[in-house]
């Protein structure tokens, strides 16, 4: 306990000390004092931006096959989703360092512009490499639109307002992430996927203007004023080598997870080269962060800090389970039920409702009690039970109301997001809160990427094994070619004889049922982690 107190004092000493007589004129309505924060209506543009950034992260889950088909290569399908997540992962830790150096508001404005440029590029281009680059840029911008919003709120509001606004921010992000898939399917059926992407550019530009006009500058303005008072703040140098090493490491890792078993066999030389490259740069990044004295991109002492380890682990495991299921539902309904994007989207709305309700209720309870452990355990039990029911009842396919298990699983997950962010705020050193928040969201993105990739790989491997080895399968001779075509394009099933279609759909249904064990294991680990957490009195 004393060790933690000492580390907190050291971390807090990095922040500039404000003289008692100092008065800061931030604007006509805010003087820099958290006891007199700016009106909350000033945040409306940032809430809108947070919704669109979160929605865009899952916008293409339902329509990735259609986009790949428009680019005349079904192997591009997983890359349409991967590209956004790749940009998101690379940018998250960078935003923490940049915001500490230049201030949240300034970097947030650049994040809006990046998001708008990326959406325009990916929506208007006819070239897949340009589309891929545009999605990376959009992902990099989207990372800051939510992460920096949370940091800015923590800098300019008092504890009670932070708890309330955090609930609204998390509900907005969760609602956007949950609505992304359904909205993507509906918009694609009505206006096309290109306009569903390019149409977000005017929104990003509008949000940039209103954020510049209405948002206060936060702690950076305080630091500049203190400099004028001959108080020198501790501004850390930017970790350029760390950014490069981390970008190559994450890019290689994401490409291996998405290409392996889909576009390329696991033993392909390209995948082996990517594994080697990712391993080397990952080790080099870890050594760089360990040897660097200050300004680390992901400080090792933050990752190893008692209490924060479990918070970060819960985010990765929880998102692994959630996105493992969510990303698999669209292929399931396409291959087994032959549903349109709009019909699939309608079924995903059920999970959206559970997410939003859980986040709002959890945030309300946490803001009043400032406690999180007991509620985390209850929420984890709800999600564990829901995932166990999926394993039992989805073994023979999803019938009728059985899709409702995603709502209760999402409800528990929404509460967990609220409670675990409270744990982050309580346990993270004040001087490293921006960096800790970036790592928090980075763990979420890691869980999303790995969960979607592993669930897809396992499902497809089980499907291939079931279809090729089954004695009643009419595709035993030359079946590998048929399976590859079915996995690349779900619509190819419709061109097969009716008897073959039945076997193919039954095989995929069975494979999907077996694969749901993976999210259950992940949620069980979440339950164990929150039970082991220790909560400090506040």
If 0-12 CB within 10 Å is exposed, 13-18 middle and 19+ buried, where does residue 301 land?
A: middle
* 321: helix, strand or coil: helix
Domains belonging to the chain, first-starting first, are 34-216 (1.20.1250.20), 295-532 (1.20.1250.20)
Residue/partner pairs of 29-34 with CB below 8 Å, 24 or more apart: 30/156, 30/216, 32/221, 32/222, 32/225, 34/156, 34/157, 34/158
3-state DSSP of 196-256: HHHCHHHHHHHHHHHHHHHCCCCHHHHHHHHHHCCCCCCCCCCCHHHHHHHHHHHHHHHHH
CA atoms within 13 A on the CB side of 448: 20
Whole-angstrom Cα distance, residue 248 to residue 244?
A: 6
What is the pLDDT, as a whole number, of residue 233? 43
Handedness of CA 208, 212, 214, 218 (dihedral sign): positive
Q: Is 17 exposed, middle or buried (0-12, 13-18, 19+ CB in 10 A)?
A: exposed
* 259 beta partners: none
Which pLDDT tens digits describe the chain residue by residue (538 residues)? 444 444 444 444 333 333 333 333 333 344 444 445 556 666 777 788 888 888 887 777 777 778 888 887 766 777 787 788 888 888 877 887 777 677 777 888 889 999 999 999 999 988 888 999 999 999 888 888 877 777 777 777 766 666 667 767 777 776 777 677 777 777 877 888 888 888 889 988 988 888 888 777 655 444 444 444 444 444 446 678 888 888 888 888 878 877 776 667 778 888 899 999 999 999 999 898 888 877 677 778 888 787 888 999 999 999 999 888 888 887 888 778 877 766 777 787 788 788 878 888 888 888 788 788 899 999 999 999 999 999 999 988 888 788 889 999 999 998 998 899 888 888 887 777 777 877 888 888 888 888 888 888 888 888 888 777 766 665 545 455 666 666 666 666 666 677 777 878 888 888 899 999 999 999 999 999 999 988 776 5
Look up tokens 């694969």; give the residue: 515
pLDDT for 2 equals 46
DSSP reduced 3-state for 472? coil
CA-closest candidate to residue 85, choices 526, 447, 509: 447
Look at residue 115 in the predicted model and tell me its pLDDT.
Answer: 92
Contact assessment for residue 347 and residue 333, using Cβ atoms and an 8 Å cutoff: yes
Secondary-structure percent of the chain, ordered helix, strand, coil, rounded to 5: 80, 0, 20
């Amino acid at each position: 306990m004393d060790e933690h107190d000492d580390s907190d004092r050291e971390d807090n000493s990095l922040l500039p000390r404000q003289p008692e007589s100092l008065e800061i004129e931030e604007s006509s309505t805010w003087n820099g004092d958290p006891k007199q924060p700016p009106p909350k209506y000033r945040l409306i543009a940032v809430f809108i931006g947070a919704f669109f950034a979160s929605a865009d992260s899952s916008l293409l889950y339902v329509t990735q096959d259609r986009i790949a088909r428009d680019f005349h290569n079904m192997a591009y399908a997983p890359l349409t989703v991967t590209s956004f997540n790749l940009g998101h992962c690379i940018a998250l830790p960078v935003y923490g360092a940049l915001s500490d150096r230049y201030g949240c508001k300034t970097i947030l404005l650049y994040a809006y512009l990046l998001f708008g440029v990326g959406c325009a590029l990916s929506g208007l281009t006819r070239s897949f490499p340009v589309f891929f680059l545009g999605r990376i840029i959009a992902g990099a911008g989207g990372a800051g639109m939510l992460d920096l919003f949370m940091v800015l709120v923590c800098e300019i509001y008092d504890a009670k307002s932070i708890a309330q606004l955090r609930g609204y921010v998390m509900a907005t992000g969760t609602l956007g992430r949950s609505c992304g898939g359904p909205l993507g399917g509906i918009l694609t059926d009505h206006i096309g996927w290109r306009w569903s992407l390019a149409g977000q550019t005017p929104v990003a530009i509008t949000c940039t203007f209103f954020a510049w006009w209405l948002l206060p500058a936060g702690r950076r303005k305080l630091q500049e004023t203190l400099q004028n008072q001959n108080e020198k703040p501790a501004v850390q140098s930017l970790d350029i080598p760390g950014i490069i090493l981390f970008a190559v490491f994450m890019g290689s890792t994401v490409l291996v997870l998405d290409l392996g078993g889909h576009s390329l066999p696991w033993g392909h030389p390209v995948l082996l080269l990517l594994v080697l490259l990712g391993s080397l740069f990952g080790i080099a990044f870890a050594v760089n962060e360990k040897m660097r004295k200050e300004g680390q991109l992901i400080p090792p002492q933050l990752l190893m800090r008692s209490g924060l380890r479990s918070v970060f682990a819960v985010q990765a495991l929880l998102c692994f389970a959630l996105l493992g299921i969510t990303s698999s539902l669209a292929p399931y309904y396409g291959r087994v039920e032959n549903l349109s994007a709009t019909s699939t989207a309608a079924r995903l709305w059920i999970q959206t409702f559970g997410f939003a309700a859980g986040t709002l209720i959890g945030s309300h309870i946490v803001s009043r009690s400032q406690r999180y452990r007991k509620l985390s355990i209850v929420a984890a039990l709800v999600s564990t039970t829901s995932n166990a029911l999926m394993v039992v009842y989805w073994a023979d396919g999803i019938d009728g109301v059985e899709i409702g298990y995603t709502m209760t699983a999402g409800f528990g997950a929404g509460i967990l997001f609220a409670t675990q962010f409270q744990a982050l705020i309580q346990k993270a050193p004040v001087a490293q809160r921006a960096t800790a928040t970036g790592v928090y969201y980075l763990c979420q993105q890691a869980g999303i990427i790995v969960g979607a990739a592993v669930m897809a790989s396992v499902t497809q491997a089980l499907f291939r094994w079931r279809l090729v080895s089954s004695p009643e399968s009419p595709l035993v001779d030359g079946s590998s070619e048929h399976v590859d075509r079915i996995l690349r394009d779900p619509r190819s099933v419709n061109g097969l004889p009716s008897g073959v279609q039945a076997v193919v759909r039954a095989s995929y249904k069975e494979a999907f049922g077996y694969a749901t064990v993976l999210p259950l294991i992940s949620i069980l680990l979440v339950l164990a982690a929150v039970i082991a957490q220790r909560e400090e009195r506040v």
